[in-house]
Chains A and B, each alone.
Chain A
């Protein structure tokens, strides 16, 4: 309970700082600028909560605290979809007449994630074991990343494209629009609710696949839907903020250290913690940059996340848990 209050308070403080931070002072803030900051804040909250809960689901499903949404390849799939959409919007301007710019990115992101998810579910259905799913997820992740790198190399020959793709890859919620937030919000909200519902099942599955099955858990349904909701959460985060890493790794592990392994509580606290962490990181991205402009959000989360990962890995190894 104390932790819930703590993360809620952290989210309120980070949200207030986010609304107050920008090139224009609070006194001169008109409704347009305030709306812009509000959209950015909502994008940060949604993306942070989505990434953190996707991390909880992956760690619960694979029973490994070092798992993250990127293991399934859905993040890379969503990123590839958005990259293709960005290229299309520059190379085929007519595309924006058919699909508004604000809708093209989410649609392509969810499309890319759905492709990765389809492959995963096909293997899960045929083989049914977690190891096959992990292996395929890693292969898909590498494949989509390689295709993304190829697109980037093509885009480099047209510098305007290269610049847009690099900005997306580095991550940031500054270009989120009201429309993209409105599209992502119901998906994230329903996915968070559904994840919470699967919490009890994930608790039972911590004892092992066979033990869970002997206790009446439908492990295939659990795997199927955990993957689906992870895909929904991860792709929503990617379409809102691009390449933002480590949130799904750091937040659930910190929260678990205080709350223990119970997934329902973990999901609520991680959603709040992820939202607070990403909002705070976004404030840092704006404040720490010398002069106008911003540090890429993905760089901030990685700068915090990489040392944490090393520390956490060492601690888990020392404790004999890895």
Chain B
């Protein structure tokens, strides 16, 4: 039989396949109300706030907030809203820059917390970061929860914007604006224009991999705040690149910012003498938890890097 011939079984199977596809399409096509959902704001006099994933969420007197965004936890604590938090990430609780203010929050959520863990808390608002799985947010919304995506707060400007939005969502727009402006202006004041500009880059070494952080991340903000010129950004790198040693030689940073304890490993790299920062031993080591801060906690990290930069020869 020729391969081109269409048999009765072909017709039957094609019809079955088409039927299954149409049925699946019918099940999947119905648009859910989660993409654009605005809760009833009549009478509240407040406009809905646009979540980073496109969903409009109505402001309200949320009192049982589950926050999965460490960058926002610190800001909420700073604004005196910690009593309205029902749960925060275990990272914020243990390592956040405002951890002391979060100790009264009833629940900590470990990184592996699943949907069921979140639903079981019966919160009235879930704050997620742009790093969250969009499917999880969709699932939470489908279960009737109000979810607000604060976006990816990779830079100080992003963090300030997220802070303003969340504060507006909680009916504290003025407080949020004040904190955001204060945070950005203090970060700007960390910079000392009288210092000579040195080229620098952030590098950490884990398992032999040289991991960077540049434009589009808090590491770039930290370097700029410490009056350093981000060499990786100049070379067109973005986000969290993985470097080869040759990249460091090419960038030729005069200063390297790294995590406490990693300076010795970097100095021992073969060819370290060809990298000016390592040859001149101009390495700034900062506590890893401090460097990992996002949101308003970034300010303390910037101050630490700037202080170390002033001590450099």
- The answer to whether B138 and A187 touch across the interface, beta carbons within 8 angstroms, is no
CA distance A184 to B24 in the complex (A): 7
Mask, A85-97, CB within 8 Å of B = 1, is 0000110011011
Q: A111 interface residue, CB < 8 Å from B?
A: no
Mask, B99-130, CB within 8 Å of A = 1, is 00000000000111111110110000000011
CA distance A185 to B27 in the complex (A): 9
Q: Chain B residues with Cβ under 8 A from A174's Cβ? A: 114-115
Q: Chain A residues with Cβ under 8 A from B279's Cβ? A: none
- The answer to whether A101 and B20 touch across the interface, beta carbons within 8 angstroms, is no
- The answer to whether A158 and B240 touch across the interface, beta carbons within 8 angstroms, is yes
Q: A232 interface residue, CB < 8 Å from B?
A: yes
CB contacts between A and B, total, < 8 Å? 155
Q: A262 interface residue, CB < 8 Å from B?
A: no
- The answer to whether B32 and A175 touch across the interface, beta carbons within 8 angstroms, is no
Q: A106 interface residue, CB < 8 Å from B?
A: yes
Closest 10 CB pairs of A and B: A293-B112, A160-B131, A190-B20, A186-B23, A182-B27, A101-B138, A183-B28, A103-B28, A24-B120, A157-B239
The answer, among A22, A179, A189, for a CB contact under 8 Å with B28, is A179
Main secondary structure of the interface of A (DSSP, over half): helix
- The answer to whether B133 and A292 touch across the interface, beta carbons within 8 angstroms, is no
* Chain B residue nearest in CB terms to A35: B143
* Chain B residue nearest in CB terms to A219: B1
Q: A32 interface residue, CB < 8 Å from B?
A: yes
CA distance A23 to B113 in the complex (A): 10
Chain A contacts to B: CB under 8 angstroms: 22-24, 28, 32-33, 35-37, 89-90, 93-94, 96-97, 100-103, 105-107, 124-126, 128, 156-160, 163-164, 167, 174-175, 177-179, 182-187, 189-191, 193-194, 218, 220-221, 224-225, 228-229, 232, 289, 291-294
- The answer to whether A187 and B21 touch across the interface, beta carbons within 8 angstroms, is yes
Q: Chain A residues with Cβ under 8 A from B111's Cβ? A: 293
The answer, among A35, A157, A164, for a CB contact under 8 Å with B242, is A157
- The answer to whether B54 and A97 touch across the interface, beta carbons within 8 angstroms, is yes
The answer, among B29, B116, B138, for a CB contact under 8 Å with A177, is B138
- The answer to whether A193 and B16 touch across the interface, beta carbons within 8 angstroms, is yes
- The answer to whether A22 and B54 touch across the interface, beta carbons within 8 angstroms, is no
Q: Chain A residues with Cβ under 8 A from B16's Cβ? A: 190, 193-194
A-B contact pairs, 8 of them (CB 8 A): A37-B116, A89-B134, A100-B32, A100-B138, A160-B130, A160-B132, A175-B133, A291-B110
